[in-house]
C-alpha cells in the first residue's frame, strides 16, 4: 500500500502544471498532524476566476492597504489590479491593466502580468506590465504567437496608480516593445529602472522629464538566446536611495551598477556572486538563475542590500560602498536544510522582503513532503522557471540585528490544502503576511490573495 501511494504521486508530478495544481490542492493526507508546528492561511476571493500564476505584483502601501495584480495566461483577457483593505476585509477592483495601457479593443495580445513589485512615491504606486501569453518552443517560454485576427504583443508599459483616486497614468512603453520583467525606482529622484524580456535590455525612465534611456542588452541575448548566447535575466533591481544608484546581476555572477551621478552603467569591480556556496552553474543552460541573485531588499539602517540566491537559498549582504558581499545563512526551510535539497521551484523564490519594523526579513520558501517516511521527489531538471514537484510552503524570518534565523513552519489553508506557486510577498502594518497563491475551491483552481498572521503580529 505504501509503495502504491509513492508511485501514484510520482506519476502525478509528470502532469501539466495546471492539472498538477488542481490535483495537488486536494492532496491533504500527507499534511502534518494537528500537533505539528504549522501556520493556517486565509484565502480572499477577488472574484477573478481567470487569475493565473503571479510573480511579485504585490505590495503594502502607506495607506495600510494591500495592492496586487492577478495575472492571466490568455491572449484576450488581461491582468487585473485589486486593492484589499485589512480594516474592512473588502477587495476592490481597480481595473484592467490592458485598459490602463490604452490598448483595450485593439486586438493586440493583452497585458497579462505585472512581474514587478510596486514602488510608492508622492501618493502613487509605480509598476510595470508584462506579457502572460506564451508559445512553448523547445520547452521554453517565448513571446506568444498571436492567433488569427490578432496582432503581436505591443510591449510592456510603466504605469502609475494614484492611491487616492485609483486612476492610472501611462508613463511609457518598454524598449523594442518587449515585456518588462524587472523594475525598481529611485523615489527621491523620480527615476525608474527596468529590465525587459526576452532579450534583457536595461532602461532608465525619468518620470518628471518623461524621458527614457535604453542602455541595450546587458546579458548577451538574454532568454531569447540559444546555446552560448542564452542568459537568464535578473529578476530584482536593488536601489540605493542615498546615491540613486541601481544594482542588478547577471547569470555569470557579475554585479552591474547604474550610477546616478554619471547616468552610466558599469560593472562593480572587485566583487561578484560566483560563490562556491551557491553551487556550480552553466549560465548558457536554461531552467535556473545561474549566479544571479533572485530577490533583494534595501536595508536603510546599514545602507546595505540583503538578498537571496535563488537556487541554493543562501542569504547574503552586499555593501555597495566597499564593495563586499558576505554569505550569511542558508535561508531555506529547516526540512530543506536537513534533507540537503535545493527547493523545488527551479528559479528559487521571489517572496522575500523586509518587514515594516525595518529589521525582520520575511521569506516564503519550500520544504520537502514526506509520505510514509519517504521524501516525495519531482523532476530532476526543467528548461523553464517552474515547480519541479510538490513541496510545503514555509515562512522563514531572519532578524538582522540578532542574526537569528527562524522557520515558523509550513503554511496550509483552512481546508488543509497547500499554497502552490507562491512567488510574492507583502507584510502589512500589523505584521500580517500576504501572498498570491493557487487556490482550489469547488473544483476550480485560480490564483488569488491569501494571508497568514506573521511573527510581527503573533
Mean pLDDT of 334-341: 93
Q: What is the pLDDT of residue 458?
A: 73
Tell me if 154 sits within 8 A of 207, measured CB to CB. Answer: no
CA 48 to chain centre: 20
**Buried b / exposed e across 67-90, counting CB within 10 Å, b at 16+?**
bbbbbbbebebbbbbbbbebeeee
Cell of 209: 522629464
- Residue 18 banded pLDDT, cuts 50, 70, 90: very low
Tell me if 81 sits within 8 A of 97, measured CB to CB. Answer: yes
Whether residue 63 is contained in a domain is answered as yes
| The dihedral sign for the CA sequence 119, 124, 126, 131 | positive
- Residue 36 banded pLDDT, cuts 50, 70, 90: low
Cell of 244: 540613486
> Residue holding cell 493557487?
438
Tell if the pTM clears 0.85, that is, is over it: yes
Whether residue 112 is contained in a domain is answered as yes
pLDDT of 387 above 90: no
Mean pLDDT over all residues of the chain? Answer: 92
Give 80's strand partners. 70, 96
Over the stretch 396-440, which tens digit does the pLDDT of each residue have? 999 999 999 999 999 999 999 999 999 999 999 999 999 999 999
Cell of 186: 529611485
Domain that holds residue 274: 41-452
Angle among Cα 328, 333, 337 to the nearest 5 degrees reads: 75
Cα separation, 290 vs 234, in Å, equals: 10
Q: What is the CATH number of the domain that holds 312?
A: 2.120.10.80
> Residue holding cell 510596486?
118
Whether residue 21 is contained in a domain is answered as no
Task: Name the DSSP class of 229.
Answer: G
Whether residue 22 is contained in a domain is answered as no
Mean pLDDT of 62-74: 98
Whether residue 296 is contained in a domain is answered as yes
Over the stretch 292-317, which tens digit does the pLDDT of each residue have? 999 999 999 999 999 999 989 999 99
Peptide bond into 198 cis (omega under 30): yes
Whether residue 19 is contained in a domain is answered as no
Whether residue 28 is contained in a domain is answered as no
pLDDT of 34 above 60: no
Mean pLDDT of 252-259: 98
Tally of structural domains, the chain: 1
Q: What is the pLDDT of residue 378?
A: 80
Beta-carbon contacts of 228 under 8 Å, excluding residues fewer than 6 positions away, are: 220, 284
Q: Is 2 exposed, middle or buried (0-12, 13-18, 19+ CB in 10 A)?
A: exposed
Whether residue 16 is contained in a domain is answered as no
Cell of 51: 487569475
- Residue 384 banded pLDDT, cuts 50, 70, 90: confident
- Residue 30 banded pLDDT, cuts 50, 70, 90: very low
Cα separation, 420 vs 393, in Å, equals: 8
Percent of the chain topping pLDDT 70: 92
Cα separation, 18 vs 46, in Å, equals: 20
Q: What is the pLDDT of residue 388?
A: 86
Mean pLDDT of 378-382: 81
Tell me if 370 sits within 8 A of 331, measured CB to CB. Answer: no
pLDDT of 353 above 60: yes
Q: Is 241 exposed, middle or buried (0-12, 13-18, 19+ CB in 10 A)?
A: middle
Q: What is the pLDDT of residue 7?
A: 43
Over the stretch 161-199, which tens digit does the pLDDT of each residue have? 999 999 999 999 999 999 999 999 999 999 999 999 999
Cα separation, 108 vs 105, in Å, equals: 8
Q: What is the pLDDT of residue 8?
A: 44
Over the stretch 102-144, which tens digit does the pLDDT of each residue have? 999 999 999 999 999 999 999 999 999 999 999 998 888 999 9
Amino acid at each position: 500500500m505504501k509503495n502504491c501511494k509513492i508511485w501514484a504521486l510520482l506519476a502525478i508530478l509528470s502532469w501539466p502544471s495546471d492539472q498538477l495544481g488542481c490535483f495537488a490542492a486536494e492532496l491533504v493526507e500527507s499534511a502534518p498532524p494537528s500537533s505539528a508546528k504549522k501556520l493556517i492561511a486565509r484565502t480572499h476571493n477577488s472574484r477573478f476566476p481567470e487569475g493565473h500564476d503571479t510573480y511579485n505584483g504585490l505590495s503594502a502601501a502607506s495607506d495600510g492597504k494591500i495592492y496586487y495584480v492577478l495575472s492571466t495566461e490568455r491572449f484576450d483577457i488581461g491582468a487585473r489590479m485589486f486593492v484589499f483593505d485589512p480594516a474592512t476585509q473588502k477587495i476592490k477592483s481597480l481595473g484592467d491593466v490592458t485598459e490602463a495601457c490604452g490598448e483595450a479593443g485593439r486586438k493586440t495580445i493583452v497585458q497579462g502580468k505585472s512581474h514587478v513589485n510596486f514602488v510608492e512615491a508622492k501618493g502613487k504606486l509605480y509598476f510595470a506590465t508584462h506579457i502572460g501569453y506564451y508559445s512553448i518552443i523547445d520547452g521554453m517560454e517565448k513571446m506568444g504567437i498571436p492567433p488569427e485576427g490578432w496582432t503581436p504583443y505591443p510591449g510592456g508599459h510603466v504605469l502609475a496608480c494614484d492611491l487616492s483616486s485609483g486612476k492610472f497614468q501611462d508613463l511609457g512603453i518598454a524598449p523594442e516593445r518587449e515585456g518588462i520583467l524587472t523594475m525598481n525606482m529611485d523615489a527621491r529622484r523620480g527615476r525608474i529602472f527596468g529590465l525587459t524580456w526576452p532579450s534583457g535590455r536595461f532602461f532608465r525612465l525619468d518620470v518628471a522629464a518623461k524621458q527614457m534611456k535604453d542602455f541595450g542588452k546587458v546579458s548577451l541575448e538574454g532568454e531569447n538566446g540559444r546555446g552560448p548566447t542564452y542568459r537568464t535575466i535578473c529578476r530584482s533591481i536593488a536601489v540605493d536611495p542615498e546615491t540613486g544608484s541601481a544594482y542588478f546581476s547577471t547569470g555569470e555572477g557579475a554585479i552591474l551598477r547604474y550610477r546616478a551621478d554619471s547616468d552610466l552603467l558599469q560593472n562593480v569591480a572587485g566583487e561578484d556572486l560566483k560563490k562556491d556556496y551557491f553551487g556550480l552553474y552553466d549560465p548558457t543552460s536554461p531552467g535556473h538563475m545561474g549566479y544571479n541573485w533572485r530577490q533583494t531588499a534595501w536595508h536603510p539602517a546599514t545602507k546595505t542590500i540583503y538578498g537571496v540566491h535563488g537556487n541554493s537559498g543562501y542569504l547574503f549582504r552586499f555593501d555597495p560602498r566597499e564593495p563586499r558581499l558576505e554569505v550569511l545563512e542558508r535561508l531555506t526551510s529547516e526540512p530543506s536544510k536537513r534533507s540537503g535539497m535545493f527547493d523545488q521551484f527551479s528559479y528559487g523564490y521571489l517572496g522575500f522582503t523586509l518587514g515594516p519594523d525595518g529589521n525582520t526579513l520575511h521569506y516564503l520558501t519550500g520544504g520537502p513532503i514526506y509520505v510514509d517516511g519517504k521524501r516525495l521527489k519531482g523532476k530532476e531538471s526543467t528548461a523553464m522557471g517552474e515547480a519541479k514537484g510538490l513541496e510545503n510552503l514555509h515562512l522563514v524570518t531572519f532578524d538582522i540585528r540578532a542574526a537569528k534565523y527562524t522557520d515558523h513552519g509550513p503554511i496550509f489553508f483552512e481546508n488543509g490544502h497547500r499554497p502552490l506557486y507562491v512567488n510574492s510577498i507583502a507584510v502589512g502594518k500589523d505584521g500580517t503576511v500576504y501572498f498570491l497563491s493557487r487556490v482550489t475551491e469547488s473544483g476550480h483552481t485560480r490564483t488569488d490573495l491569501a494571508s497568514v498572521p506573521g511573527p510581527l503580529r503573533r
